């Protein structure tokens, strides 16, 4: 077996995600209420943690082997959603799984990387994935404690099968729902960012413009606020059988180990009541209805302030951002950083920079405020 990627073995400066070995149901419940990521280890999750290689999936599940799947394909291992450096290819499941196996071997003639995030039966109708129902031959291999997995109070949104070539990095993004990510084959490095640093992530919709979180030279030049997020990030290297609880709105970047293809299964759960979310959301990344409205209102406010002389914009943006910071306990964006950015983009007026910097934080804060009242799981 070849050695693990340098990114996964080199000494890391990140705080480590908390670990909980064989948690009781009470402990699982308390952790979900804490809204902090935690990795659960030593849980008996069934045979999947020992058996689910791409080859096994191919042989065990004719439904998956014969299904049409939409694969992400790229010549780069660093899949970047903002710059779309990959294409979607519709493949038969069997061909996709064989390509993943080949991409992991030195026999492969060209460097191509593959990634599958399984979709619902009819994605055009925004149907979320239900992988274990869609590929029923696999269901008996998976067993999880009810408080991690069961569809209590109608909170389950989707169950997703994720398969990739070794070394694939999936772009930094956030999901609007709680996530239980179970690593089943190969290792996976996950770096997570607390919701209160979403204003430092240069988000465009649910994905970050930061292409490679480890490229500090580029990031310091192009995304100077990102270093504040990095200082508060947490890291974990998942082993087969580990179950990572990723609370809603904790942005994360995943990187598969270099030694083997990655197979993982994850479930998304609503942490708010069902009617707090838009109905058309196949991917669990649509902002709750209130948060979306708040963001739209802020965009509208920015345009209104831009119509005033600049010192009015500066004054009211500064007051508004301080009010938001105070109300939700998020840090105001350091002025020096804002000024640096302003120097770089002279056409951007300060009011717009200040208010936009708070957009991410407001989504989080609004969602947290609702969540305090309406926690379902
Ligand atoms: O494990 C992966 O491939 C990516 C997981 C992920 O980003 C997610 O579950 O949101």
CA of 217 to the centre of ligand 1 (A): 26
- The number of the ligand 1 atom at minimal distance from the alpha carbon of 179 is 9
264 alpha carbon – ligand 1 mean position (Å): 8
Atom of ligand 1 nearest to the CA of 268: 9
Q: What is the pLDDT of residue 376?
A: 39
* Max Cα–Cα distance, the chain, nearest Å: 67
Q: How confident is the model at residue 375 (pLDDT cuts 50, 70, 90)?
A: very low
Query: Taking the C-alpha atoms of 160, 363, 203 and 79 in order, what is their torsion angle to the nearest 10 degrees?
Result: 0
- CA 117 to ligand 1 centroid distance, Å: 8
Residue the block writes with tokens 């010549």: 75
Ligand 1 atom, smallest distance to 183 CA: 1
Mean pLDDT for 3-13 is: 61
Q: What is the pLDDT of residues 310-356, one digit of tens each?
A: 999 999 999 999 999 899 888 766 544 444 554 455 444 555 555 65
Closest-CA residue, ligand 1 atom 10, reads 175
Residues with CB under 6 A from ligand 1: 162, 164, 170, 175, 179, 181, 188, 252, 254, 264, 266
Q: Do strands 38-41 and 18-21 pair parallel, antiparallel, or not at all (unpaired)?
A: parallel
Q: Is 191 helix (H, G, I), strand (E, B) or coil?
A: strand
Locate 105 and state its tokens.
């071997």
Mutate to test the pocket of ligand 1, among 264, 269, 281, 286 (most ligand atoms within 8 A of CB): 264
* CA 263 to ligand 1 centroid distance, Å: 10
pLDDT at residue 106 in the model: 64
Separation of CA 189 and ligand 1 centre (Å): 11
Mean pLDDT of the region 93-117 = 87
- Give the pLDDT of residue 331: 72
Closest residue CA from atom 5 of ligand 1: 254
pTM of the model: 0.88
What's the pLDDT tens digit per position in 175-227?
999 999 999 999 999 999 999 999 999 999 999 999 999 999 999 999 999 99
Burial string for 347-368 (b: 16+ CB within 10 Å, else e) reads eebbbbbbbbbbbbbbbbbbbb
Q: How many CB atoms lie within 10 A of CB 311?
A: 10
Write out the two tokens for 181: 């990510």
Has residue 364 got a pLDDT over 80? Answer: no
Q: For tokens 């993943």, what's the residue?
A: 100
Spatial separation of the C-alpha atoms in residues 303 and 271, rounded to whole Å: 33
pLDDT reported for residue 49: 95
Three-class SS of residue 246? strand
Ligand 1 binding pocket mutation candidate from 72, 179, 187, 282 (most atoms within 8 A of CB): 179
């Amino acid at each position: 077996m070849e050695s693990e990627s340098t990114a996964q073995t080199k000494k890391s400066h990140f705080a480590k995600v908390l670990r909980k070995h064989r948690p009781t149901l009470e402990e699982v419940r308390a952790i979900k209420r804490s809204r902090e990521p935690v990795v659960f280890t030593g849980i008996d999750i069934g045979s999947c943690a020992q058996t689910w290689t791409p080859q096994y999936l191919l042989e065990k599940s004719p439904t998956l082997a014969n299904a049409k799947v939409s694969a992400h394909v790229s010549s780069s291992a660093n899949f970047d959603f903002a710059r779309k450096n990959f294409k979607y290819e519709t493949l038969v499941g069997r061909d996709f799984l064989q390509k993943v196996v080949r991409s992991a071997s030195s026999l492969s003639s060209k460097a191509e990387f593959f990634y599958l995030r399984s979709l619902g039966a009819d994605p055009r109708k925004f149907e979320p994935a239900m992988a274990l129902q869609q590929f029923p031959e696999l269901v008996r291999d998976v067993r999880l404690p009810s408080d991690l997995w069961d569809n209590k109070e109608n909170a389950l949104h989707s169950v997703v099968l994720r398969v990739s070539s070794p070394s694939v990095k999936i772009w930094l993004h956030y999901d609007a729902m709680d996530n239980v990510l179970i690593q089943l084959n190969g290792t996976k490095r996950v770096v997570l960012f607390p919701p209160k640093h979403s204003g430092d992530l240069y988000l465009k919709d649910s994905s970050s413009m930061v292409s490679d979180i480890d490229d500090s030279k580029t990031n310091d030049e192009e995304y100077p606020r990102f270093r504040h997020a990095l200082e508060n990030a947490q890291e974990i290297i998942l082993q087969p059988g580990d179950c990572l609880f990723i609370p809603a709105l904790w942005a994360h970047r995943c990187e598969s180990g270099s030694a083997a293809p990655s197979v993982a299964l994850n479930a998304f759960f609503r942490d708010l009541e069902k009617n707090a979310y838009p109905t058309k959301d196949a991917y669990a990344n649509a902002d709750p209805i209130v948060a979306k409205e708040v963001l739209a209102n802020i965009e509208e406010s920015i345009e209104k302030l831009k119509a005033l002389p600049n010192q009015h914009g500066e004054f009211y943006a500064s007051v508004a951002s301080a009010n938001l910071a105070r109300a939700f306990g998020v840090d105001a964006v350091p002025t020096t950083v804002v000024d640096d950015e302003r120097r770089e983009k002279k056409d951007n007026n300060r009011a717009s920079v200040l208010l936009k910097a708070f957009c991410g934080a407001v989504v989080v804060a609004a969602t947290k405020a609702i969540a305090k009242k309406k926690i379902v799981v």
